[in-house]
C-alpha cells in the first residue's frame, strides 16, 4: 500500500458574477489528478505559476477543500475526515511554505512556534521533556538552542525556513508537502535547505511532495517528477528519464530553460508563444495546443490520453516523444 494515494482529485473554485453573485463559472485549479507516493520517497511536482500545483498541495492537507476525488493516507481517506479525527491525522502530514516569514507568527518566539505543535498533539508530558525536544528539533535543522527565545524577524530567510522545518518535524510526520520551500532563497541557501531536507529524509524516512516552478531544483531532490499544466498532470517519470528524454512538448520547453554549466553547450531555449490560458475557459482538445510548437489539427478537438509511452513513463500527448525541431521554427527559438 502506498503512503499517499491521490485519486481523481479536483479543486474547482466558483467565480461569482453580477448583482446576485450567482455562480456561472469555475476555475479548474486542479482537474482530475491521480498519483501515489511511497514511504520515504520524494516526488517532484513542477509547472509554471498558476498551473495549480500549490492548490494541489494544499488540497492534500485539507487547507483547501477538494471538490471531488480522494486523498488516501495510509489507506484512510482524508477527504472524509472532519473535526478531531482530521486534527489527529494531521500529525502524519505537514506542509512547509515558500514564505517562511509569512507562515511564522511574528509574536511568537522560536520556542513557542516549535513547542505549539508538541502541545497541540500532547507529545511531551513535562516541561523539561518539552524543552529537551525543542532543543533536539532545533539541532536537527542546524539551529542552536540559544536562538530559542528569539523572534522570526531576527533570522535570515534560510534560518526562518529551518524554523518552519523544525515545526513540521515536531509531530514526526510521514509526509511533508514542501510548497516551493527554496524559491524565495538565494541559490547558495537553496542548496543548504535541499541538503537538509535530504539528510532528514535519510534519517527519518519522511516522504516529500516537493513543489517548485524550477525543474532543475526538483530534479536535484526527487526520484520521480510530475509535470503539471493547467490543472492536469501532463507527464510523469523517473527524474533522470524525464530530463534525458522528455516526451511532452511542454516538458521539453521547461528543460530547455535550465541554464547549463558548459559554455560550449548548444542547447537552445524553446520560447512558448502566449501565456498560460485561463483555467476558467481552458482550451478544448489538448489544453496545451494553443502554445504547442508541434500541434496538429486533431490536437484542437481530441483530448490526449495520459498513457504509458515508455516503461514507467507517462505522458498526455498525441505525439509523445516527438522532439521540437528548433531550426524549423526560427520564430520560436532563442539561444540560452
286 forms part of the interface with ligand SF4 (CB under 6 A): yes
* CA–CA–CA angle 104, 6, 198 (5° rounding): 50
Could you tell me where the DSSP H helices lie in the chain?
Answer: 53-60, 83-89, 100-103, 110-120, 127-140, 157-169, 187-204, 215-221, 239-244, 249-256
- x/- letters, 5..24, toward ligand SF4 (CB under 6 A): --------------------
Measured from the CB atom, the residue of 185 and 317 that comes closer to ligand SF4 is 317
232 forms part of the interface with ligand SF4 (CB under 6 A): no
Stretch that binds ligand SF4, among 64-72, 74-82, 127-135, 294-302 (CB under 6 A): 294-302
152 forms part of the interface with ligand SF4 (CB under 6 A): no
Measured from the CB atom, the residue of 150 and 333 that comes closer to ligand SF4 is 333
**Joined grid coordinates for residue 315:** 505522458
Residue with cell 518552519: 164
Q: Which residues are bridge partners to 175 per DSSP?
A: 93, 207
Q: How far is the CB of 178 from ligand SF4 (least distance, A)?
A: 28
324 forms part of the interface with ligand SF4 (CB under 6 A): no
145 forms part of the interface with ligand SF4 (CB under 6 A): no
DSSP string, 101-149: HHHS-TTS-HHHHHHHHHHHTT--SSHHHHHHHHHHHHHHTT--GGGTT
Residue with cell 504547442: 292
# binding residues, ligand SF4 (CB under 6 A):
14
Local structure of 160: helix, strand or coil:
helix
Among 95, 270, 318, 324, indicate the residue that binds ligand SF4 (CB under 6 A): 318
Measured from the CB atom, the residue of 111 and 235 that comes closer to ligand SF4 is 235
Q: How far is the CB of 295 from ligand SF4 (least distance, A)?
A: 4
Give residues in contact with ligand SF4 (CB under 6 A). Answer: 248-249, 286, 288-289, 292, 294-296, 299, 304, 317-319
Amino acid at each position: 500500500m502506498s503512503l499517499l494515494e491521490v485519486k481523481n482529485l479536483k479543486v474547482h473554485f466558483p467565480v461569482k458574477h453580477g448583482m446576485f453573485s450567482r455562480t456561472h463559472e469555475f476555475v479548474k485549479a486542479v482537474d482530475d489528478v491521480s498519483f501515489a507516493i511511497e514511504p520515504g520517497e520524494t516526488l517532484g511536482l513542477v509547472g509554471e505559476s498558476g498551473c495549480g500545483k500549490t492548490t494541489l498541495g494544499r488540497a492534500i492537507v485539507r487547507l483547501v477543500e477538494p471538490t471531488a476525488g480522494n486523498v488516501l493516507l495510509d489507506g484512510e481517506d482524508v477527504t472524509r475526515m472532519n473535526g478531531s479525527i482530521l486534527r489527529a491525522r494531521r500529525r502524519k502530514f505537514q506542509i512547509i511554505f515558500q514564505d517562511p516569514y509569512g507562515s511564522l507568527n511574528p509574536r511568537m518566539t522560536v520556542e513557542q512556534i516549535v513547542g505549539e505543535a508538541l502541545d497541540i498533539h500532547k507529545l511531551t508530558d513535562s516541561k523539561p521533556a518539552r524543552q529537551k525536544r525543542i532543543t533536539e528539533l532545533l539541532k536537527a535543522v542546524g539551529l542552536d538552542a540559544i536562538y530559542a527565545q528569539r523572534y522570526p524577524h531576527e533570522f535570515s530567510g534560510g534560518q526562518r525556513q529551518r524554523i518552519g522545518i523544525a515545526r513540521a518535524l515536531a509531530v514526526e510526520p510521514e509526509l511533508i508537502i514542501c510548497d516551493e520551500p527554496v524559491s524565495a532563497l538565494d541559490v547558495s541557501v537553496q542548496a543548504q535547505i535541499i541538503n537538509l531536507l535530504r539528510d532528514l529524509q535519510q534519517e527519518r524516512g519522511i516522504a516529500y511532495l516537493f513543489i517548485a516552478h524550477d525543474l532543475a531544483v526538483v530534479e536535484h531532490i526527487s526520484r520521480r517528477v510530475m509535470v503539471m499544466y493547467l490543472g492536469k498532470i501532463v507527464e510523469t517519470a523517473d527524474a533522470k528519464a524525464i530530463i534525458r528524454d522528455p516526451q511532452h512538448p511542454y516538458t521539453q520547453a521547461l528543460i530547455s530553460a535550465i541554464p547549463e554549466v558548459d559554455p560550449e553547450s548548444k542547447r537552445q531555449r524553446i520560447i512558448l508563444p502566449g501565456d498560460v490560458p485561463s483555467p476558467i475557459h481552458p482550451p478544448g482538445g489538448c489544453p496545451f495546443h494553443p502554445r504547442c510548437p508541434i500541434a496538429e489539427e486533431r490536437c484542437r478537438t481530441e483530448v490526449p490520453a495520459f498513457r504509458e509511452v515508455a516503461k514507467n513513463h507517462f505522458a498526455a500527448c498525441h505525439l509523445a516523444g516527438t522532439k521540437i525541431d528548433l531550426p524549423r521554427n526560427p520564430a520560436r527559438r532563442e539561444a540560452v
